[in-house]
Chain A
Amino acid sequence: MPRTDTPAGWFSWLRGENMGARLLRLTVAMVVITLGLLPWADLSITTHDPWHELGRMLKGMLLPDVTATESPLRALLLTVTFALWGVALGMVLGFPLALIFMRSRLVRTLCAFVRAIHELFWALLFLQVFGLSAITALAAIALPYAATFAKVYAEILAQIDRRPAHMLSPHTDRLSRFIYTELPLAWQRLSGYTRYRFECALRASVLLGFVGLPTLGYYLESAFRQGRYHEGGALLWAFYLLIALLPWWAHRRLLLPWMLGTAFLLGPWPSVNPTLLWQFLNHDIWPQPLLSGDIAALPGWFAHLPNLLPAIGNTLLLGLMSTVGSLMVALLAWPLVSRHFGNRATRAMGRGTLIIMRSTPELLLAFILLLLTGPSLLPAWIALSLHNGALIAFLAARHADETRPGLPGIRGINLYSHELLPRVYPGILALLFYRAEVIMRETALLGMLGVVTLGFHIDSSFEYLMFDQAVALLMVTAVINMGVDVLSRRLRPDALPEPQRQPRPAPVGDSV
């Protein structure tokens, strides 16, 4: 019997329990909350003539001066060295942890905590003990990376096909079972993820220059801060080249030569004073009242902390704004690199733009924007949205390229809105929520540039040698990040881009 449905109204799509409605509700809620909170965000532009400054920067990019930096090659090599050895150490530490990750709540919590603090904050902490040395650089990369490797390796190993292991005799020992039926099946994804993390480590290694280690970032920061844009442009191009040529110079076969060759560059090695180290660990980082057993004085100690509420508010607000901003950038940008749209030339240009947006370290991007706008949430918001949006756009385009539109001859906006977006959107949201954790971590970090987030207070606490306060604030940051991580995992759509049964070429962790 035919039945006529009443035509669907504007908001009817939001109702219902199906996946589409759920994702739509989630998106609308995020956008509405962000718009509602926007009046509280400080988006002011305080510089006099941002356009003039931007023009000078672009000129610097177009006319780079390669001779300006004294030893650019050394800075470049040191950047690679720290990244390479940091990742190698992270793997050595993280792999054994991955094997017990799923079984041990303690390991999971510890890893979540270590991951929740950004590489640069770790660097600031180690800096107090080991000074400007290789140990600081390596530990700052290796420690959070080990925690990330533990988690992602464990997830990859949990997703492999169990059938080959099932056919083995039950008497097979654990090691043989692992190396014959589990490791080979996971190998491609493990090495793919490690490779991706190496690219991230290169960015982190650049950033270590911001705390004073003589990597590329050190020279970049001083060049841009002092307005030597031609020199800054040359260094930036050098970094892009490094990333673009990654497949060639970082080939698997060259790994060992690189490791051995760069081992000599590692340094300087600090002379650690055990007394000072002991003093730092045992005394400096703890609140004074706690050490002297004077619990009554503890509230007084807390009262001395800087007013954290605006900083926490800003951190969370920036995190939310940047998450939504990344979503918008990703939605606009993925067609630029998808085979379904444009022609060869537009795709090449889109690719170039997105690679530049993705490869520039967020902090550096924010720093450059900050020179244009002055300290407010605006540069941080733009930088985080561009970087993360570009990253998600690439993965969304790759997913879209694998699908074939059902209607022949459908093109342009119709193809985007009816065939492709509905298919890739759950994946985009899933990636976005994976990414939210990273965005939060970076949000705090941007405080180092003078934006009043938690990182601002952490940075200045270290500057004034108030280690107890710095560590306490790091704890607060970690707890907030872990909270956001839990929240985003709750909200994340379960439907990942590809069906779960086929091992995906790019791991989930692509986005971590």
Chain B
Amino acid sequence: MLETATVEPGTPAMLAGFDHARLGHDHHIVFPDLTLRISQGERIALLGRSGVGKSTLLDALRAQLGDQGAWCPQANALVPVLSAYHNIYMGRLAHFSRWQNLINLLRPNRACWQEISALAETLGLDGLLRRQVDQLSGGQQQRVAIARALYQKRPVFIGDEPVASVDPRQGARLLELINERHHTCVVALHQRELALAHFDRIIGLDDGRIIIDAPAHELTPNDLDVLYAPD
């Protein structure tokens, strides 16, 4: 992160934002001049080709939001040799004492197990909690990653392609669940139909700039073509 210019939370509804900020990583600037406000209660979809800076923006948001944000990275951030249960439990590692964490690794805490298996059931992961994550399918892994974010129980959901490898119908169901449990969501997506159907505000990125920022009901799928047009 080169610089994260925080906008003073003047208006009470303001949650996070950037005012002419420069964002990037490792001496590589992705957003030279970014201005963006995110208010409480918004449901935002980030669209754009891969490599336009969606992850960079989400990272910066995550840093700003701190403990308010539940972070759902791509499925490759799971620990493949641990069970699905432990991977979901990891969402709240910081919440529990280190000794409970250590013991839980050997013998799952009963209360946590019950809570997590209830969560797993709503995500269609019932019966898979004991399974090592690298033995799950791509879609199942993705749901484990979502379960981990939900288990964090934070007001804001920040997701990096959380439904990339599930079919559209299931994707819709998962996004509804996410929306239900968080008052604010910022989610990077690549399925534009899902974005238009489940989010209020669409932000389209291209080449380090915001080129679309509009309410979802004002846009049609064709308006989003510009984001994916070859140069």
- Residues on A facing B (Cβ under 8 Å): 161, 163-164, 166-173, 175-177, 179-181, 184-185, 187-188
Contacts and interface: CB of A to CB of B under 8 A. Distances in A.
Contact of A163 (B76, B82, B101): B76
Contact of B102 (A171, A175, A187, A188): A175
B78 interface: yes
A167 B73 contact: yes
Contacts, number: 60
A472 to B, nearest CB: 47
Given A167-B73, A168-B90, A180-B86, A175 B81 contact: no
Nearest to A171: B94
Nearest to A169: B94
Given A180-B82, A180-B101, A180-B105, 17 more contacts: A163-B73, A163-B77, A164-B79, A169-B94, A173-B93, A173-B98, A175-B102, A176-B93, A176-B94, A176-B96, A176-B101, A179-B102, A180-B86, A184-B81, A184-B82, A185-B79, A187-B81
Interface in B57-71: 66-67, 71
A170 B80 CA distance: 21
Contact of A173 (B78, B82, B94): B94
B93 to A, nearest CB: 5
B93 A169 contact: yes
22 contacts: A161-B76, A164-B79, A164-B90, A166-B73, A166-B77, A170-B66, A171-B67, A172-B94, A175-B98, A175-B102, A176-B94, A177-B93, A179-B101, A179-B102, A179-B105, A180-B79, A180-B82, A180-B90, A180-B93, A181-B79, A184-B81, A188-B81
Interface of B: 66-67, 71, 73, 76-82, 86, 90, 93-94, 96, 98, 101-102, 105, 152
Contacts of B82: 180, 184
Contacts of B73: 163, 166-167
Contacts of A166: 73, 77
Nearest to B106: A179
B81 A176 contact: no
Nearest to B100: A176
A172 to B, nearest CB: 4
A170 B94 CA distance: 8
Nearest to A160: B79
Contacts of A179: 101-102, 105
A177 B77 CA distance: 13
A168 B79 contact: no
Given A163-B73, A173-B98, A179-B105, A168 B81 contact: no
A172 B77 contact: no
B85 to A, nearest CB: 12
Nearest to A182: B79
Nearest to B152: A169
A164 B81 contact: no
Contacts of B152: 169
Contacts of B78: 164
